[in-house]
Amino acid sequence: MSALPHGPADVSRTTPAEQAALDARYDALARAERLLPIKITGFYRRKLDEEIAALGHTDGPLNRAARPPRERFGVSAGHEVADWVDDRTNMPVPGSTAIIHKYADRVLFMPTSVCAGHCQYCFRQDVLTDQHEAGRTRVAAELEALVAYLARTPLVREVILSGGDPMTLPTRELALILRTLKGLPRPPAIRMHTRTLAFAPKVFADPERVALLAEADARIVFHFIHPYEVCEEVEAALAGLRRADIRLYNHFPLLRGVNDDPDLLIDLVTRLDDLRVRTLSVYVPEPIRFSAPYRIGLKRLFALQDAFVTRSPSWVNAVRFTLDSPLGKVRREHVASWDEANGLVTFRRDGRSFVYPDFPAHLDVPGDPAVMLWRRPGRPAA
Ligand code: SF4
């Protein structure tokens, strides 16, 4: 990678004109490096425009999540890999890239590689780009492979629909998947991971889809990353899901410059809890290629976790801070040793270890709370 075009101490704001140039430059980078292209729904675009109007620049949290910040082009933390969680070695069905089996009791099923919008920080860009290049997922054939796999793998009790985003599927394909799974002799529990509610809440206003989710008794796990994503339209869609007695959860990554502030995290978890959405986990950003703009050093992350825990009641601070890894999920208590000189942290779990390349402190410039929480009284825009 090249030297830093903008050093980490550079706090000059990105003007809308500069951002337009960054967006255009990113198109070429995405093609060359197999990253996800920029994709923003009309609904989310209005949020981005509102943020720019209030701040006068594009370094606000939602813009930073959806459009490339300057550091996307030149900052590397080293030790970055394409597929940190090693999805490809956990694909047990030859010829299928839609089934991932890592934990004995759960299987991930990815019936589509399409998302309603693209997140700059996406940790699955590599596999998703492969799938985009391979063309549209053949849902019926992949579902048939999944059913056969479940029949010969009796320990599996849950199917997690992910992607891509399964809520982007046409209703008939969603119905086929949910009804097929629920009609099996040993029907698995169904969990659905989706960010579509943040990008296009009208998808969840469709009574036929809500009825399908309710009929399948699916648990829905949203990926809200910031309290400003939880707006009136989202609230209305959540009310519809609650009326259908659907179980609702959230989990999300901790992202530098987007949500790396304890008060912001407490706001998000509290707001969702008020709407009967229970937050399960906060994820540590993974060391994948081009992830430096979003990553956080572990020491700062643990300090942030401590502040989050001590400032909030138990129904907020029960949220787990988790790192996904090739060995599965690990947390702070799994740190076995810390090589400070080389920035390498060894995690050990169930007798197995892996080494995590920590994010360097000199690059770890915290997000500015005045910018990330620009609507908050007493926190004027920078
Ligand atoms: S919605 Fe999820 S899978 Fe899709 S781009 Fe965003 S983070 Fe990646």
State both tokens at 167: 């809520």
Q: Can you tell me which atom of ligand 1 is nearest the CA of 118? A: 5
182/21 Cα distance (integer angstroms): 49
Assign residue 276 the CATH number of its domain: 3.20.20.70
Kindly list the distances between the CA atom of residue 122 and the CA atoms of 67, 72, 164, in Å, as whole numbers in the listed order. 12, 13, 10
Does a cis peptide bond (omega within 30 degrees of 0) precede residue 60?
Answer: no
Tell me which of 64, 108, 119, 251 to substitute to probe ligand 1's pocket, judged by most ligand atoms within 8 Å of the beta carbon: 119
Mean pLDDT of 209-238: 98
Residue 105 CA, ligand 1 centroid: distance in Å:
24
270/313 Cα distance (integer angstroms): 10
Residue 224 CA, ligand 1 centroid: distance in Å:
11
Residue 255 CA, ligand 1 centroid: distance in Å:
14
Given a cut of 70, whether residue 380 has pLDDT beyond it is no
Whether residue 228 contacts residue 47, with contact meaning beta carbons closer than 8 Å, is answered with yes
Strands (E), 64-132: 99-103, 106-109
Residue 117 CA, ligand 1 centroid: distance in Å:
7
22/64 Cα distance (integer angstroms): 12
Query: What is the reported pLDDT for 11?
Result: 63
Q: What percent of the chain has pLDDT over 90?
A: 84
Neighbour count for residue 209 (Cβ, 10 Å):
18
Average pLDDT value over all residues in the chain: 93
CA angle, residues 32, 21, 78, in degrees to nearest 5: 50
Residue 115 CA, ligand 1 centroid: distance in Å:
6
- For 220-230, what is each residue's pLDDT tens digit? 999 999 999 99
Of 174, 171, 165, the closest CA to residue 113 belongs to: 165
39/164 Cα distance (integer angstroms): 13
43/198 Cα distance (integer angstroms): 9
219/254 Cα distance (integer angstroms): 22
Residue 126 lies in a domain: yes
Given a cut of 50, whether residue 120 has pLDDT beyond it is yes
The DSSP result for 239-293, as a single string, is HHHHHTT-EEEEEEE--TTTT-SHHHHHHHHHHHHHTT-EEEEEEPPP-BTT-TT
User: Closest Cα to atom 3, ligand 1: which residue?
Assistant: 164
195/277 Cα distance (integer angstroms): 14
Given a cut of 80, whether residue 123 has pLDDT beyond it is yes
Residue 58 lies in a domain: no
Query: What is the reported pLDDT for 375?
Result: 96
Given a cut of 50, whether residue 242 has pLDDT beyond it is yes
Tell me which of 109, 110, 115 to substitute to probe ligand 1's pocket, judged by most ligand atoms within 8 Å of the beta carbon: 115
User: Closest Cα to atom 8, ligand 1: which residue?
Assistant: 122
Q: Indicate the burial class of 155 (C-beta count within 10 angstroms; 0-12, 13-18, 19 or more).
A: exposed
Query: In the Cβ-directed half-sphere of 208, how many Cα atoms lie within 13 Å?
Result: 6
Residue 311 CA, ligand 1 centroid: distance in Å:
30
Number of folded domains that form the chain: 1
Residue 34 lies in a domain: no
Domain that holds residue 267: 80-372
Whether residue 163 contacts residue 112, with contact meaning beta carbons closer than 8 Å, is answered with yes
Residue 74 lies in a domain: no
Residue 67 lies in a domain: no
Residue 30 lies in a domain: no
231/16 Cα distance (integer angstroms): 24
- For 157-202, what is each residue's pLDDT tens digit? 999 999 899 999 999 999 999 999 999 999 999 999 999 999 999 9
* Coil/strand/helix, residue 74: coil
Residue 64 CA, ligand 1 centroid: distance in Å:
14
Given a cut of 80, whether residue 318 has pLDDT beyond it is yes
Query: What is the reported pLDDT for 378?
Result: 65
Residue 266 lies in a domain: yes
Tell me which of 124, 222, 324 to substitute to probe ligand 1's pocket, judged by most ligand atoms within 8 Å of the beta carbon: 124
- For 41-85, what is each residue's pLDDT tens digit? 999 999 999 999 999 999 999 999 999 999 999 888 888 888 888
Residue 250 lies in a domain: yes
Residue 119 CA, ligand 1 centroid: distance in Å:
5
Q: Can you tell me which atom of ligand 1 is nearest the CA of 39? A: 5
Whether residue 128 contacts residue 290, with contact meaning beta carbons closer than 8 Å, is answered with no
State both tokens at 140: 């019926």
Tell me which of 109, 112, 118 to substitute to probe ligand 1's pocket, judged by most ligand atoms within 8 Å of the beta carbon: 118
Residue 113 CA, ligand 1 centroid: distance in Å:
9
Query: What is the reported pLDDT for 382?
Result: 43
Q: What percent of the chain has pLDDT over 70?
A: 96
CA angle, residues 43, 47, 48, in degrees to nearest 5: 115
244/259 Cα distance (integer angstroms): 31
Pocket lined around ligand 1, Cβ cut-off 6 Å: 36, 115, 118-119, 122, 124, 165, 195
Kindly list the distances between the CA atom of residue 190 and the CA atoms of 177, 205, 290, in Å, as whole numbers in the listed order. 10, 20, 33
Q: Which element (helix H / strand E) includes 203? A: none
52/367 Cα distance (integer angstroms): 17
